[in-house]
Amino acid sequence: MTKDILLNKNDALIIIDVQNDFCPNGALAVENGASIVKPINKMMRLFDIIVLSQDWHPTTHKSFASNHKNKNIFDTTTLSYGEQILWPDHCIAGSKGAEFHPLLDTTKANAIIRKGYDPNIDSYSTFYENDRRSPTGLAGYLDKLNVKRIFLSGLVFEYCVGFSAIDGINLGYEVFLIEDTIGYFKNDAYGPMDEQLIKLGVKNINEINIKKQ
């Protein structure tokens, strides 16, 4: 049985990439992408520190299959930092697809972190680009606010949420995944990511288990 978690004012809610292109009818849609918006909005009232992340790609981004000759969507290629999955064009800076889901209450956010705008480097984690060296600025922001625990929600578990959790642990935060506010592809990456997060000690909870002191 999951124990209730009592929040303090230095706990941070990080809402990852709840954007039109990751929701139904988007360019890289997650089946339950829109269904997590309502519980996320409900949960925001419990937190004093709320950060939104936003994929923000140029049209020339090298993670797009359209920018590689004789490559198809979901093929892989090798970039300067290693293997890279090739995605459909998505979350292009300034486009409708890059906008947050229209029902997501963005007014409560203290900060928005944009990632993936370097055309040569993809960015899954909200902490580092995929070269694992280029910071997004999120850790510095959280450290200035003396954050010790981070609570992750959003899209999608196997990539941006999962890699954010890994980096969060490696940076010394206590990391919680709020399962009923996370979207899942449930593809081949699900099992390995789930196993890695368990080994690292990432905690799984539900929205109902989070209480404000």
Q: Which residues are catalytic?
A: 17, 115, 160
Q: Are strands 82-85 and 76-79 parallel, antiparallel or unpaired?
A: antiparallel
Read off φ and ψ for residue 39, nearest 5 degrees.
-65, -30
Distances (CA, A) of 164 to 49, 103, 143, 150, 208: 17, 24, 16, 10, 22
Residues forming a β-bridge with 83: 78
DSSP 161-187: IHHHHHHHHHTT-EEEEEEEEE----S
- Exposure of 213 by Cβ count < 10 A (0-12 exposed, 13-18 middle, 19+ buried)? exposed
**Nearby residues of 61 by Cβ (< 8 Å), 6 or more positions away:** 67, 116, 119, 122
**Nearby residues of 1 by Cβ (< 8 Å), 6 or more positions away:** none
